[in-house]
Structure 1
Amino acid sequence: MVGAAELLADRDHVLVGFDGAVCTVFDNERARGAADRLRPLVGPVLPDEVAASGDPFAVLAYAASCGPNTADAVHRQLARLELEAQLVAGPVPGSTELIGALAWRGFTVTVVANQSVDAVRNHLALHELQDKAKRISARASGDPDQLLPGTALVDAAIRGVGASPERCVLIGRTPQELQAARAAGVATIALAPGKLRPPPDVVVADLAELRLAG
């Protein structure tokens, strides 16, 4: 079975999933708090599953079904909440070193995220990574069809570096990131335990193992 070093050796471009591999913006408590703050923008009467959800993206998806103006309002408020939350969350241990090592080895690094472009850009700037992860493919609107696990963000990342899917690999932790990459024809390295569908090409135990690969 191919390992991380072999997979990386055959690629020029690395897509790094933001959520959980670079910054866990919302833990369970912060996610529920964000969903609670978004719900009033949608309306007082909500479907039961939306009213009870602790996932802000479930509220965003419902907002999109209410119309573009509502979706935009929820997207903009969610972006503000993500900016606040990433300051508290900080980087995932080892993520800054990993991105630095990938850039030093000559890979083009693109961060892929369902989180807002502003939140990702701010995180990279705060941790002096903007010159290492030079490209961002992240949420820019309230349209859920443009988000993971759809392929739009991965496709945009590939176009942004003028590459083919075969020259890219995605490093990610969430099922949405990994599913989107595989659907776009991009090889995957998972930072997640347990069974994943579709299965990733490589599973590593932690970021340190991946940083040292090759």
Structure 2
Amino acid sequence: MVALDRTVAVLPSPPPITDEAFALLAAAGTQVTVISNLAATAVRTFLIRHGLDEHVRHFAARTRPDRAALPPAPDLITAAIRERAAPARSCLFVGSADLDLTAARAAGVDTIRYRRRATAPTAEPPATPPPNPWFDALAGEPSIARR
């Protein structure tokens, strides 16, 4: 898990729409919280490195190697809700992975699923590592699934 955490911290920049979406949400008074299965230090590094930290009010991430606290368990999401002292019904979880959406629903949070638009396969494999699926999902068209 530690090697993956280090790799994510140095991935290429997320799509520009990520910063735009976070900025619009923050400007509208929305408290943006990032929740990740990755180590807290990797999440913090990624947000700062890509300038996303200015829009993110809080983040919840793995602080120990306890896999039982990861999705589909709602632990990270419920911890973020408790920390922000916000009722679950006032929160919205945006994600692309089934386990993450299941965890959000178990925490009593409405969800929106983002799916990447299908593209034709390329002849050459990409020269850079694949982007983080969570941030990459923001660049696609939304497929809304409310609980």
Fold-level similarity (TM above 0.5): yes
Q: Per the alignment, do residues 206 and 140 of structure 1 end up closer, same or farther by CA in structure 2, a change over 3 Å counting?
A: closer
The one-letter amino acid paired with 1:119 is A
For the 8 Å contact 1:83–1:118, the answer to whether it is kept is no
Q: Per the alignment, do residues 127 and 89 of structure 1 end up closer, same or farther by CA in structure 2, a change over 3 Å counting?
A: closer
* Distance (Å, rounded) in 2 between the aligned partners of 1:175 and 1:93: 24
* Distance (Å, rounded) in 2 between the aligned partners of 1:178 and 1:151: 9
* Distance (Å, rounded) in 1 between the aligned partners of 2:140 and 2:115: 14
For the 8 Å contact 1:83–1:122, the answer to whether it is kept is no
The one-letter amino acid paired with 1:103 is A
**Alignment pair present for 1:117 and 2:6:** no
* Distance (Å, rounded) in 1 between the aligned partners of 2:138 and 2:47: 20
For the 8 Å contact 1:94–1:208, the answer to whether it is kept is no
Q: How far has the Cα of 1:207 moved from its partner?
A: 4.0
1:139 aligned residue: 62
Q: Per the alignment, do residues 130 and 206 of structure 1 end up closer, same or farther by CA in structure 2, a change over 3 Å counting?
A: closer
**How do 1:62-73 residues align onto structure 2 when only pairs under 5 Å count?**
none
Deviation per CA, 1:118-172: give whole Å up to 9, x if none. Answer: 1110111011121211211111111111111101001011011111110100011
**Alignment pair present for 1:130 and 2:53:** yes
Root-mean-square deviation over aligned CA pairs: 2.1
Taking structure 1 as the reference length, the TM-score comes to 0.52
Deviation per CA, 1:29-76: give whole Å up to 9, x if none. Answer: xxxxxxxxxxxxxxxxxxxxxxxxxxxxxxxxxxxxxxxxxxxxxxxx
The one-letter amino acid paired with 1:83 is R
Percent identity, aligned pairs only?
A: 34
Q: Per the alignment, do residues 83 and 96 of structure 1 end up closer, same or farther by CA in structure 2, a change over 3 Å counting?
A: farther
* Distance (Å, rounded) in 1 between the aligned partners of 2:138 and 2:43: 21
**Alignment pair present for 1:108 and 2:39:** no
SS of aligned partner of 2:54: coil
SS of aligned partner of 1:119: helix
Rg comparison, structure with higher value: 1
1:31 aligned residue: none
| Counterpart pick for 2:5 among 70, 74, 82 | 82
Identify the structure with bigger relative contact order (alpha carbons < 8 Å, sequence gap 6+).
1
* Distance (Å, rounded) in 1 between the aligned partners of 2:7 and 2:139: 25
2:103 aligned residue: 180
- Deviating above 6 A after TM superposition, structure 1's stretches of 4 or more consecutive aligned residues are none
Count of residues paired in the alignment: 122
Q: How far has the Cα of 1:104 moved from its partner?
A: 1.1
Taking structure 2 as the reference length, the TM-score comes to 0.74
Q: Which ranges of structure 2 fall in alignment gaps of 5 or more residues?
A: 117-136, 143-147
Q: Per the alignment, do residues 208 and 98 of structure 1 end up closer, same or farther by CA in structure 2, a change over 3 Å counting?
A: farther
